[in-house]
Amino acid sequence: HITDTTTLNNGVAMPWLGFGVWQVKEGSEVIDSVKHALKAGYRSIDTAAVYGNEEGVGQAIRESGVAREELFVTTKVWNSEQGYESTLKAFEESRSKLGLDYIDLYLIHWPVKGKYKETWKAMEQLYKEKKVRAIGVSNFHVHHLEDLLADCEVTPAVDQVELHPLLSQRELRQFCRDKGIQIEAWSPLMQGKKFDHPDLVEIAGKYGKSVAQIILRWDIQNGIVTIPKSVTESRINENADIFNFELTQEDIAKIDALNENQRFGADPDNFNF
Ligand code: NAD
C-alpha cells in the first residue's frame, strides 16, 4: 500500500514511496503539486534548502489537512552551510520556512570534504534535542560512510543517492544493508530521459504498466526507498499506483542486469557546488 513503511535503524517508520520536489518552483507550482501528491496518498515529501521551495511545501502541508504525525518530511543542509554552527542555523531556517515543529529526516546534502564530520556533529545535536526524528546523509559513497562511521555517535539512518536501473549501486547497497543504513533513490526515473529503454519497455508491456511504474516497483521490491518527482497530476497518480502488482524475480534480475554505472547527476567524488 502507498503508506507502507520501512523501519529505520532507530525505529522510525519511513514510507517506501515519497514525492520529490527538486526543480519544482516555489509558489503555486510546488503548493499545487504537493497538495495533489498528498491527495493521491503520498505521505512523504523530499525537499532541500537549496530547492528554494520549503515555504510552499509547508503551506501545502498545512492546507492539505493531513495530520502532521501521518507525514514524513525530509529536508537537507546545503553545502555552503556545512560546519557545526552554520548547520544548526540552517536547520532553524528550514524548520521555520516549512513551518514545522520538527523535521522527520534531516540530511547532509553532499559530502563536502573536510566539513561533513563537523556537520554531522550538528546533526547529532539536533537529533538529541528531538528536533529531528532521524538524521542521515546524501550522496555518500562507501568511503565517505566508512570515514563517518569511524567517528560518529549516531549511525546515519539513510543514505539518499542517485540510483536507478542504469546506476544500480550494488556495492553501496550491500554496504548499507550490512550497516543498517536505509538506501533511498534520487532521480529514480532517470529524470525521465530513458523511458524508451527497450528492455524496460518490454517488461512494462508484459505487466500492462508504464516504464516509470516498473522502475518504482523494482526499487521497492529491492528494499530501496524511492522519491519520484512530477508536477503533472496524472503522473503523480501513476507513480503512486505501484502497489497492486509484483515483478517476478526473473524480471527483477533482468532490470538488475541493466546497470551501466551511468550518472545523470554529479559524482560525489567530483562535484563543485
Ligand atoms: P526523477 O528521476 O524523479 O524524474 C522526474 C522527471 O521524470 C519529471 O520531471 C518528468 O519529466 C518525468 N516523469 C516523472 N514521472 C513520470 C511519468 N509517470 N511518466 C512520464 N514521465 C515522468 O528526477 P528527479 O526530480 O531528479 O529525482 C527525484 C527527487 O529526488 C527530486 O525531486 C529530489 O527530491 C531528489 N533528488 C535529490 C538529490 C540529492 O542530491 N539528494 C539530487 C536529485 C534529486
> What residues contact 65, with CB distance under 8 A and at least 6 apart?
none
Do the interacting molecules here have an ipTM over 0.95?
A: yes
Q: How confident is the model at residue 167 (pLDDT cuts 50, 70, 90)?
A: very high
Instruction: Kindly state if the Cβ of 191 falls inside 6 Å of ligand 1.
Output: yes
Which three cell numbers mark 99? 513551518
Work out the average pLDDT over 150-177.
Answer: 98
Q: Where are the beta strands (DSSP E) in 139-250?
A: 158-162, 182-186, 225-226
pLDDT single digits (tens) 77-133 = 999 999 999 999 999 999 999 999 999 999 999 999 999 999 999 999 999 999 999
Work out the average pLDDT over 138-146.
Answer: 98
Residue 272: what pLDDT? 87
Which residue minimizes the CA distance to atom 38 of ligand 1? Answer: 186
Domains located in the chain, CATH noted: 5-194+219-245 (3.20.20.100)
Over 90: is that where the pLDDT of 170 sits?
A: yes
Q: What share of the chain is helix, strand, coil (3-state, %, to 5)?
A: 45, 15, 40
Residue 226: what pLDDT? 98
**Residue 66's closest CA among 118, 3, 129?**
3
Closest ligand 1 atom number to CA of residue 193: 7
Work out the average pLDDT over 50-73.
Answer: 98
Which helix H or strand E contains 153, and what residues bound it?
none
For the chain, the straight-line distance linking the first and the last C-alpha, in angstroms and rounded, comes to 38
Mean residue pLDDT of the chain comes to 98
Measure 150 CA to ligand 1 centroid, in angstroms: 33
Measure 1 CA to ligand 1 centroid, in angstroms: 21
Residue 2: what pLDDT? 93
Measure 188 CA to ligand 1 centroid, in angstroms: 7
Which sequence positions are flagged as catalytic?
51
Residue 124 to residue 236: CA distance in whole angstroms: 34
Q: Among residues of the chain, what percentage have pLDDT more than 70?
A: 100
Instruction: Kindly state if the Cβ of 75 falls inside 6 Å of ligand 1.
Output: no
Q: Is 164 annotated as a binding residue?
A: no
Q: Among residues of the chain, what percentage have pLDDT more than 90?
A: 99
Instruction: Kindly state if the Cβ of 102 falls inside 6 Å of ligand 1.
Output: no
Instruction: Kindly state if the Cβ of 175 falls inside 6 Å of ligand 1.
Output: no
Residue 260 to residue 128: CA distance in whole angstroms: 40
